[in-house]
Amino acid sequence: MNHFQATGVAEALAKTMVVEPASRADLDRLDARLEGRIAALRTDLRFEFAKIRGEMQAGFAAVKFEPLRWILPIVLAQPAMTIGLPVRLRP
């Protein structure tokens, strides 16, 4: 009877909780696997960030052009109204 069974843990669960110490080779293999996964995730993140950055820059370019589409006609119409309205209202 092990410690887990003595404390009331079910037998099947107690068998899965038996911990064996990991060897240095096991830890080295785990470290290499984790480093590979981390490197792959970093590459994926860099790619996704670059894609998002490109989409944002394209969106900002469109936003920069949009006010010009509205402001330019107003700027051109203002002098025409300032000059044209008094001329039109003259008797």
**The predicted structure's pLDDT at residue 45:** 96
- Provide DSSP, 29-88: HHHHHHHHHHHHHHHHHHHHHHHHHHHHHHHHHHHHHHHHHHHHHHHHHHHHHHHHHHHH
Confidence of residue 78 (pLDDT cuts 50, 70, 90): confident
pLDDT higher than threshold 60 for residue 76: yes
pTM, 2 dp? 0.45
Mean pLDDT of the chain: 80
